[in-house]
Structure formats: structure tokens, C-alpha cells
Chain A
Amino acid sequence: MSAEPLTGRHKGWDIAAVLARWLLGGLFLQMGLSKALDPVDFLKLVREYDLTQHPLLLNGIAAALPWFEVFCGVLLLAGVAVRGSALMLLAMLVPFTWVVFQRALALQADLGIPFCEVKFDCGCGAGEVYICRKLTENGLLILFSAWLLMGWGRSLCARYALIGAGAGKPGAEN
């Protein structure tokens, strides 16, 4: 998106993007806190993905990821470094969605049930969920993150960009 003043239609899209930013920020804040407040439960769930058995790596993921989500959520809610935050969310969401999908496939094979009837606690901070619903939700979150990464959602930002054109300008160039 350019740095030119927004006209009516673009303004509407940008307001929608701001709502998406708040939704993303709020969700990540809530999901991150729920895991950060019970890291042992999250540690057990991360272990079930069998990504690594090395204690340092396993503990590092379970210890840092929830707080990292909180960090990104707060930045998005406040509108600070929005594109960078969106990029970090994408960097978490895409691989995480992939491993959730893989785990669901494994569970489906084990249980012999239709894919959409697979239900498990994926470590997302919302307890047990049906896999199709989870993948749909994650797909939407990925789309929203990509939308913000493209430069939308500049309104009502405390500091849209830390460096560059929009740095330090509340509401940026809108």
C-alpha cells in the first residue's frame, strides 16, 4: 500500500484491516497468556509433536513461544511495528499449521476416523478443537497476517513502523 492519503473506499478497507489487526493481536495475546500461565501443559503438548526430544530445545520452545505470542499480540493491538509483527506471526502460523496438519493426519490414521472428526489439543491455547475448524481458523489468521504485511491497517497505530517513512507518526500518513 502506498503512503498517499486514503480515499473513501481504501479508508473502508483500512478500517477493516485495523479490525483484523486488533483481532489478531487480541487472539495472540489471549492464546499466548493462556499458555504462558501454564507452561508445563504447553510443554507436554509440544513434546507430543515429536519435533525434538532435546530438553533444551523442547523447553526453549515451550518457554519462549507463549511470551513471544504475547509480545506480537501487544504490538499489533497497539499498532507498533505492524508489518514486522505480522511477519513474525506468519513465521509462527505457517509452520505451526503444517505440523498441526501432520499430527492430525497421524491421528486420523491411528483412529481410523474421518479427517474432520479428528479432535485434539493442538497447543493453540484453546483446548481440544476439531482439526477442520482449527485449520480454517489458522487459514484466516494467515490471510489477516499477510494482509497486514502488505501494508494495510495503518490507522490508529501508536507507531506503525519503527524505522522508515511511517516511524513515529501516529496514524501514519492517513
Chain B
Amino acid sequence: MATVGAAIAFAANAVSPRGLALTRNYFPTAVQMAGPVPAALPAELGPAGTNAVGAAPPQPEAGSFDAESLRRADIDQAAALFRDPRYQSELVVFIDARDEAQYREGHVPGAYEFDHYRPEKQLATVLHVCQLAEQIVVYCTGGDCEDSEFAALALIGVGIPKERFFIYVGGMSEWAAHGLPVEVGERNSGTIGSAEP
């Protein structure tokens, strides 16, 4: 009976649109960088291919890179990058590594949604934006949240140079607590509200 139950449970996970990929490492502590020529996306990151992205291919170095080596940004640095004129031309971009519901509740205005657990929908867009950007700020909720690191590692793993990344450690909770602008709903919805700190 336990065997039948387990078989049904795994089958239900397999057919569920929200099911987990059993072999994927959702919590990477390091990533193998793709090298000078962007490799095809790992299957675990979804069906979007590198041919979905635009020009200006990055030239990252090959080798292993771990999360500890990612640069950190505090609230002042994150706010300065947000106010940087290059933000308007997307040479500086913000990536929100939380899930869709949290993103819609409130995100840094203009930030791109990238839930690395379910990257299929956003990966092609985010990859394109990151390839053109000079600096990329990735954030999640803040506190113990590690999703910003996992998201950055996922993007580094598919060919975005690691030097472009900043992890905004304080995350959305700190951003909102400091009274910085928060956009509600979809990206560029124009609805500036206040998120719960």
C-alpha cells in the first residue's frame, strides 16, 4: 500500500504543472560557468534556448564560481544604482528573484521578475536584458532569503559574466522599510504603492 501511495505521489508530481524536477539542484552553492561561447541552456532551466536572445553575447571565463564570491550591495548602493541614469536605458537592471505572487505585491520599479525555481516563463527575457546590461542587481525578500544568490548563479551558469552581479542583501523588505518606491502588479504597471516591510 505504501508502494502504491508512493507511486501515485510521484505520478501526481510528474503531471502537476507545479511539480518539482527530481534531479535538479534547486539550491546550488556554486555553478559551472559556461565559458566564452554561451552554451545551450541546461535542460533544467527550461525550454528557452540561447537563440531566443539578442546580440552582444557575453564573454565570461570558464570555471567554477560559488555564491560566496558574489558581490554584495547594501541599501545605499542599491538605491544609487536605482537612481543611476543608466537604469533608464537598462544598462543597470534589477532582477527580482521572488515568486510571482510576491513580485506582484510589490517590487523595485522596473525590476524584472525571475523566479529561478520556475524560470521557463522569464528566462529568455531576463537573459536578453542581462546580456545587454552593465550592472545587474539581484534581490529577494531579504533576511535569510538566498533566492537572489541562486538566481544570480543560474544566470552566471548560462553565460552572464559574474562581474556584473550585485546581490542586494537587504532585499525587498529593507527597500520598502526605507520608503523607497515600490511598483505593484506587472513590470512598468506605473502603479507605485507601498509594500509591507
* A residues in contact (CB < 8 Å) with B: 36-40, 43, 47, 53, 55-56, 58-60, 62-68, 70-72, 81, 84-85, 88, 91, 162
Contact = CB atoms under 8 A, between A and B. Distances in A.
Interface string B117-136: 11000000000000000000
Contacts of A67: 8-10, 12-13
Contact of A81 (B1, B16, B23, B99): B1
B26 A55 contact: yes
Contacts of A71: 5, 8-9
Given A64-B9, A64-B13, A84 B1 contact: yes
Contacts of A72: 5
A37 B13 CA distance: 10
B11 to A, nearest CB: 8
A55 B99 CA distance: 21
Interface string B1-27: 110011011101100101111111111
A63 B10 contact: yes
Contacts of A47: 27
B24 A88 contact: no
12 contacts: A36-B13, A37-B18, A38-B18, A40-B20, A55-B23, A55-B24, A64-B10, A68-B5, A70-B9, A70-B12, A84-B1, A88-B2
A38 B16 CA distance: 11
Nearest to A61: B20
B1 A39 contact: no
A59 B21 contact: yes
Contacts of B21: 59
Contacts of B16: 36, 39
A39 B5 contact: no
